[in-house]
Structure 1
Amino acid sequence: MTTTASAPRHGVSSFFHRNPRLRLTALLSAPMLWLGLAYLGALAALFVTAFWHTDTFTGQVVRDWTLDNFRTLVTDEVYRTITLRTLGIAALVTVIDAVIAFPMAFAMAKFCSPRTQRILVIAVMTPLWASYLVKAYSWRIMLSGDGVISWLGTPFGVDSPGYGVFATVLTLSYLWLPYMILPIYAGLERLPESLVDASGDLGARPWRTFRSVILPLTFPAIVAGSIFTFSLSLGDYIAVRIVGGTSQMLGNVVYDNIGAANNLPFAATVATVPVVIMLVYLAAVRRTGALNNL
């Protein structure tokens, strides 16, 4: 009976072995189905809702197709300002993290022993295990008028910057820094030492070696890290609410229209802006090979 029962299993195994594409399709069907229903389905619902509107008298969603929400988003100066501010903050956070992360990742990959590398990787990942709110409120306490920054800067005549756009950029740069360090570290670790040595043997100075050899080969890793920092900053609304003072980002507009304003169609319209921006950004960076470093 054991032989008879195992025969169908062997037959199925042999069938999938002879058809590798079918085997791959069977393995990916469940996760792809989940992706299609949970993620792409939610995005489709978001885009559809963006073309509806809310009845100002009853507060109910009216399922009539209209472009009024998009027209308001484009023509209203307040929303244009918020969109530009969000883009500027996300870009600035990405640049700051890249400038800080590269020398850290380079030291980890090229100057540290394997044991030290493991310790430093754990140290970089440790902040990710802490609560987002704990880290954000820690920066709120430090940036307050009687916080640590003000206390340390008082003898030198330096006061705390307080809450606002600067505090938001500072907090987001801290929050997303590990997402920039790890891809760059992985890219530098794969960089062959022979190329750096060959550049030196040919008479290139350290700066020329960095500019002509190291930076071009690790640029896809930098772009891969920027995908995380840029997208996470683009959609964030908690940090700016905690340390941003009166500043607003697109995420705050979405949150306010879901809650207090109870205008789900307009919230969906605003939410499409980061999605479209990231789609354009991913299409632009696809040719750099950055997606292969994720």
Structure 2
Amino acid sequence: MASITLHRRLSAALWRRPSLALTATLVPPLAWFVLIYLGALVLLFITAFWSVDALTGEIDRTWTFENFSRILGSPTYRAIALRTIGMAAAVTITDALIAYPFAFFMARIAGPKLRVTLLTLVLLPLWSSYLARVYAWRLILAHDGVLNWALNSIGLPDLDIGYSRWAMWIVFSYIWLPFMITPLYTALERIPHSLFEASEDLGARSWRTFGRVVLPLSLPGLVAGSIFTFSLTLGDYITPVLVGGPGSDFIGNVVYANVGIANNVPFAAAYAAIPLIVMALYLTLARRLGASDAM
């Protein structure tokens, strides 16, 4: 009986003070975010300033810039970082060029039934395993794979792009394409049809309507999709291992090697800070472009 009375008093207090109810709802997830997520990032940056004792292999918690000096002073590590950032940018641009007309067709031209069908097809690959999709492309792009077989059947020579950076570019573009189409579709669907009619009434042609109406209003969705494709490519290390050739290491591969084989966690933390810094700069720019409105 006492518990029922306490429950009623608590319910009445929360009903009289909506702000208290909102605070009670938000505190647990915010506490988890601060303690677990932000706490892990802080610990990562702190560990980046430590080092490993060459004799004992133990972590020396004396603060030093040795790891960052090693990264900046090594052409190999600089090349890997630039390769990763360049691939992330190339995949983002490729997905944007493919996703834009597809999302526009879904949002503005396709009927309700066809729209649902196309949206299902876009999301369908996400229902399968990431590794299964990568291995499928590995079989397609291999020397004796489906791609070369199809080319040979029509009299064309082998393409031989398996285990190369071209293969990584194709696989990354395919895997992350749904993450570009979805926010673009959402942004394009929000554009009022009256704006297209007004542009047509004012005598604007299709390309002018696209440049003055469609593109500015869908830019938040485009930037939101690019955040996903850019960050996911930036942090991936499985695809370079499975479909990349020699010299195709990414930042994630270096981090993995130093955590597991070399047992140099401070250097791995310092190298892992590179994509975090790049994404922080990218998110700052995306926020100014209004990407959060479409996410």
Fold shared per TM-score above 0.5: yes
Query: Against the structure 1 CA distance between its residues 259 and 7, is the aligned structure 2 distance closer, same or farther, given a 3 Å change threshold?
Result: closer
Name which of 60, 63, 77 aligns with 2:61.
63
List per-residue Cα deviations over 1:160-180 (Å, max 9, x = no partner). Answer: 222221111111110000000
Distance 1:158 1:217 in 2: 43
Distance 1:159 1:153 in 2: 8
Please tell me whether residue 125 in structure 1 is matched to residue 123 in structure 2: yes
Q: Percent identity?
A: 49
Write out the 4+ residue segments of structure 1 that deviate beyond 3 Å after TM superposition: 4-11
- Could you say which residue in structure 1 is the equivalent of 2:14? 16
Amino acid at match of 1:258: V
Name which of 50, 53, 56 aligns with 1:52.
50
Question: SS of 1:156's equivalent?
Answer: coil
Distance 2:173 2:287 in 1: 24
Amino acid at match of 2:86: G
- Could you say which residue in structure 1 is the equivalent of 2:238? 238
Please tell me whether residue 137 in structure 1 is matched to residue 135 in structure 2: yes
Deviates more, 1:132-141 or 1:9-18: 9-18
Distance 1:243 1:188 in 2: 34
What displacement does 1:227 show?
0.7
What displacement does 1:6 show?
5.3
What displacement does 1:7 show?
5.0
- Could you say which residue in structure 2 is the equivalent of 1:207? 207
Amino acid at match of 1:67: F
- Could you say which residue in structure 1 is the equivalent of 2:41? 43
Conserved in 2, the CA contact under 8 Å of 1:153 and 1:160?
Answer: no
What displacement does 1:56 show?
1.7
Alignment of structure 1 residues 162-241 onto 2, 5 Å: 162-241=162-241
> TM-score if structure 2 supplies the norm length?
0.95
Distance 1:106 1:61 in 2: 53
RMSD, aligned CA: 1.4
What displacement does 1:101 show?
0.4
Distance 2:156 2:202 in 1: 48
What displacement does 1:289 show?
1.4
What displacement does 1:117 show?
1.2
List per-residue Cα deviations over 1:68-108 (Å, max 9, x = no partner). Answer: 00111111111111111111000110000000001111111
Distance 1:10 1:290 in 2: 43
List per-residue Cα deviations over 1:202-257 (Å, max 9, x = no partner). Answer: 11111111111101100100000011000000000000111111111100100111
Distance 1:183 1:82 in 2: 30
Conserved in 1, the CA contact under 8 Å of 2:91 and 2:229?
Answer: yes
What displacement does 1:8 show?
4.0
Query: Against the structure 1 CA distance between its residues 162 and 8, is the aligned structure 2 distance closer, same or farther, given a 3 Å change threshold?
Result: closer
Please tell me whether residue 25 in structure 1 is matched to residue 17 in structure 2: no
Deviates more, 1:35-44 or 1:266-275: 35-44
Structure 2 residue ranges without an equivalent (≥5): none
Structure 1 residue ranges without an equivalent (≥5): none
- Could you say which residue in structure 2 is the equivalent of 1:90? 88
Distance 1:19 1:221 in 2: 36
Distance 1:136 1:57 in 2: 41
Question: SS of 1:204's equivalent?
Answer: coil
Please tell me whether residue 148 in structure 1 is matched to residue 149 in structure 2: no
List per-residue Cα deviations over 1:143-175 (Å, max 9, x = no partner). Answer: 111111111223223522222211111111100
Please tell me whether residue 293 in structure 1 is matched to residue 291 in structure 2: no
> TM-score if structure 1 supplies the norm length?
0.95
